[in-house]
Amino acid sequence: MKPSKNNLHHLFLSFRSIFLFSSVMYLQYIPSSKRNIYSKIIDKSEAVYFFMFLRAMNIIVKPMEGLCTCRPDTTWERENKDIYAIPAVEGYRFTPVLFVRVSKAGKCIGYKFADRYYDGFNFGVLLYGGIRPGVAVDGNALETETVDASSAKSELNWSACLDHSSILPFPLYNPLVLDNDENEFVLRKNGKVIFGTVEGSREMVENAIAEVSEVVSLRIGDIVAVELQEPLLLVERMPEEKAEQDCLLTGEFLETETFRHQIYF
């Protein structure tokens, strides 16, 4: 009996999944001593990156206050494409994050073991949509708008599910790069610096892994993101007669541009 095209397609997908899984498992045991610690791309990044598309993964966010929140992988903006705000979004708040990729499944992970559960990091930005009119960030002063607590909480809850709102660039850096406290992450809006830090550390992400794993079971491929400041106003929708409402958001690390997104309304 001649196999149908549909059966052949499923067979191909099965072999591809087995190949990618085997590649990940093999690369998992490459000694870190064989890697250049200042190499931008981790040896196994590409294989794991493609493997992540074969299943759903979580983006677990450690906020400035509280335990954690989770974003679906549909919010992950990984292709460096322009962002087009939906009509319901009146603007965006932003918070820079230091994030790591989980390389080993675990639950209730102790701090002293947390370094075994991630294999790469980078800096990114989380966007929260649906804000009310206010004063946009101008690069000189970071201002927030005053809203009541219940409204703000509701807003953050639904806006955390927006497509393209988790800007988490790949490939990743070796975690040992975090040991150099002179490596700066810089975030720019329309060319003006709106955030910069050299304070990212392995201690920060390992504390976050220990804390969030008390609530959420971590799986291989999940992302743990640590917010570096409270969400602040980035850009808002302006009346059509007013120009300059769009926003070019770029990030730099180790003097290399890691992401570039134009936000349109």
CB 260 within 8 A of CB 253: no
Location of structure tokens 């759903």: 56
Q: For each successive 10 residues of the chain (265 residues), what is the average pLDDT?
A: 54 59 50 41 45 65 89 87 86 94 95 95 92 42 43 61 91 93 94 94 95 94 95 84 75 94 91
Shortest CA distance to 58 belongs to which of 74, 71, 69, 76? Answer: 71
How high is the pLDDT of residue 260? 95
- Distance (Å, whole) CA 146 – CA 161: 23
How high is the pLDDT of residue 86? 84
- Phi/psi at 232 (nearest 5 deg)? -120, 155
What are the tokens at 157?
A: 């809850």
Half-sphere exposure of 58 (CA within 13 A, CB side): 16
Residues forming a β-bridge with 133? none
- Distance (Å, whole) CA 260 – CA 265: 17
How high is the pLDDT of residue 236? 86
How high is the pLDDT of residue 149? 45
DSSP 8-state symbol, 238: -
What are the tokens at 166?
A: 């988790």
Report helix angle 45-52 to 5-28, nearest 10.
140
The predicted model scores a pTM of: 0.73
